[in-house]
Amino acid sequence: MNFKIRPATKEDCKGISRMIMELAVYVKMPDQVKISHEELERDGFCQNPFFECLVAEVPEENKSTEGFTLVGYAFYFYTYSTWKGRSVYLEDLYVMPEFRGNGIGKGLLSKVAEVGKKKQCVRLQMSVFDWNTPSRDFYAAKGAQDLTESEGWHFIRFDNQSLDNLANEAPKD
Ligand SMILES: CC(C)(COP(=O)(O)OP(=O)(O)OC[C@H]1O[C@@H](n2cnc3c(N)ncnc32)[C@H](O)[C@@H]1OP(=O)(O)O)[C@@H](O)C(=O)NCCC(=O)NCCS
């Protein structure tokens, strides 16, 4: 399979948005997607971008049955470990079903690792659903450690009302 992996441009945001929804359908949570391609354009292509993204592109002659040439993406940003320093967090890794098994997922993941290493990152981390054994196996096969199993971490979140409540309780300056 002939494919190219390259940094996303602002013009790719519609295609990325489509694949974000496809991934959300895959993880059975399509109702959770509230982001628009305009927000992606704003947040990823501003002076201090909130994220970076790589896309996998196939030539016209290999386009998907629906006519798409963007067939996968890796969406990531930088975090910081107080123990280890610079880190990359992989938010999404996705390859369209009809293009899987051709090395595209591996190519995207390795490319994120390469980009991170160039910026002296020492970790590449991600979260994956417990039931998503194909992806857990994919990461394990590449040498990733499952921290929930080995260290018992929980994934914690404040949003909506809990986030509002917390912010409202902040001491006044
Ligand atoms: C996970 C995913 C990105 C893999 O993409 P892909 O293009 O099919 O994977 P590749 O063809 O690059 O496979 C690369 C390697 O992983 C192996 N692999 C792929 N799927 C695997 C699986 N389920 N279990 C074990 N190994 C697997 C391949 O055999 C290949 O091994 P090799 O390097 O020894 O040849 C893709 O299946 C996907 O989009 N899944 C749905 C979305 C998802 O769950 N994303 C991750 C969580 S956000």
Give per-residue pLDDT as tens, 119-173: 999 999 999 999 999 999 999 999 999 999 999 999 999 999 999 999 999 999 8
Ligand 1 atom 32: the closest Cα is on which residue?
103
Question: What amino acid occupies position 102?
Answer: N
Beta bridge partners of 126: 90
pLDDT bin (cut points 50, 70, 90) of residue 106 is very high
State the Cα–Cα distance between residues 161 and 107, nearest whole angstrom.
Answer: 39
pTM value is 0.95
Amino acid identity, position 17 = S
Is the per-residue pLDDT at 1 higher than 90? no
Which residue segments constitute the domains of the chain, with CATH numbers given?
4-147 (3.40.630.30)
What pLDDT, on a 0 to 100 scale, did the predictor assign at position 162? 98
Place of tokens 């993406």: 73
Dihedral angle over CA of 92, 132, 33, 153, nearest 10: -70
37-92, pLDDT tens digit by residue? 999 999 999 999 999 999 999 999 999 999 999 999 999 999 999 999 999 999 99
Alpha helix positions (H), 52-168: 104-118, 133-141, 147-151, 160-168
Centroid of ligand 1 to alpha carbon of 43 (angstroms): 28
- Phi then psi for 131, rounded to 5 degrees? -80, -10
Q: Ligand 1, from 128, 138, 142, 146: best to mutate by most atoms within 8 Å of Cβ?
A: 138
User: Which residues carry out catalysis?
Assistant: 139
